């Protein structure tokens, strides 16, 4: 961990006030695997438990914080680095951060994990086959990638490195949002993230 400016209120004080600790739920998987939909559904579940939460999503972040980045390997890594830094600020502020990003490279996800204290990064692999993701292609991105209109598209012309040992592995290709959210909530309760 690096030296940070100390604020008047500590992360522990915020956790006491919030009645929950803060951590990062990092949703990774192919485009169309259900990362954002699941993060939004889960945020609703956490909100009902009076948890302070915030979603960071690839589409939204690229419209502001990362608008200067393209989709080269280097830019993808920088995108994830920036998101990791923002996520760190959120958990210091006592917020449960739900980060939904393809984040195709293991090294980038590991770099974000290294920024935060142990056990504060929960990697959630939203596992769905390429075939299912292409069937869910509401934006038409896979079709454009197959026609060569989008270069460096993850799963088609750019690799996706699946997590080896994620904290949570979900079959988002076949299970409902409710089933997947229940699995996450069970993990959070079983491991003491929520009471």
Q: What is the pLDDT of residues 35-50, one digit of tens each?
A: 999 999 999 999 999 9
Asked whether residue 89 is assigned to any structural domain, the reply reads yes
pLDDT at 66: 61
CB 159 within 8 A of CB 139: no
Mean pLDDT lowest among 16-20, 106-110, 180-184: 16-20
Residue 66 neighbours by CB under 8 Å, 6+ apart = 78, 79, 82, 83
pLDDT at 5: 54
Q: Whole-angstrom Cα distance, residue 112 to residue 72?
A: 19
Q: What's the mean pLDDT in 62-67?
A: 68
70 CB-side CA count, 13 A: 6
Residue 12 has pLDDT above 80, yes or no: no
Which CATH number do you get for residue 125?
A: 3.40.50.300
Predicted confidence band of residue 130 (pLDDT cuts 50, 70, 90) = very high
The answer to the question of residue 157 being in a domain is yes
Instruction: Check if the beta carbon of residue 84 is closer than 8 Å to that of residue 115.
Output: yes
Residue 84 counted as domain residue: yes
**Residues with a known catalytic role:** 103
Q: Say if residue 174's pLDDT is above 90.
A: yes
In a domain, 40, yes or no: yes
Task: Give the number of other Cβ atoms within 10 Å of residue 137's Cβ.
Answer: 15
Domain total in the chain: 1
* 3-state DSSP assignment of residue 121: strand
Mean pLDDT of the chain: 89
Range with the poorest average pLDDT among 3-12, 107-116, 141-150: 3-12
Place 70 in a pLDDT band, splitting at 50, 70 and 90: confident
Helix (H, G, I), strand (E, B) or coil at 74: helix
Handedness of CA 79, 139, 106, 176 (dihedral sign): positive
**Residue 3 covered by a domain:** no
In a domain, 2, yes or no: no
Q: Is residue 105 part of a domain?
A: yes
- Find the domain containing 141 and state its range: 12-190
Q: Do the domain assignments include residue 1?
A: no
pLDDT given for residue 18 in this prediction: 75
Per-residue pLDDT tens over the stretch 72-118: 778 888 888 988 999 999 998 899 999 999 999 999 999 999 999 88
């Amino acid at each position: 961990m690096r030296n940070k400016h100390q604020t008047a209120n500590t992360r522990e004080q915020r956790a006491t006030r919030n009645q929950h600790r803060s951590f990062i739920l990092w949703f990774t998987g192919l485009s169309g695997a259900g990362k954002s939909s699941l993060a939004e559904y889960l945020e609703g579940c956490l909100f009902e438990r009076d948890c302070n939460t915030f979603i960071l999503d690839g589409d939204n972040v690229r419209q502001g914080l990362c608008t200067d980045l393209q989709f080269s390997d280097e830019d993808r890594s920088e995108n994830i680095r920036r998101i990791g830094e923002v996520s760190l600020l959120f958990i210091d502020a006592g917020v449960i951060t739900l980060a939904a990003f393809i984040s195709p490279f293991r090294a980038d996800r590991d770099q974000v994990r290294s920024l935060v204290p142990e056990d504060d990064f929960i990697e959630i692999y939203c596992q769905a086959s390429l075939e299912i993701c292409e069937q869910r292609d509401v934006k038409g991105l896979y079709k454009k990638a197959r026609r060569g209109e989008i270069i460096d598209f993850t799963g088609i012309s750019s690799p996706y490195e699946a997590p080896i040992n994620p904290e949570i592995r979900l079959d988002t290709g076949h299970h409902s949002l409710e089933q997947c959210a229940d699995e996450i909530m069970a993990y959070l309760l079983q491991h003491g993230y929520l009471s």
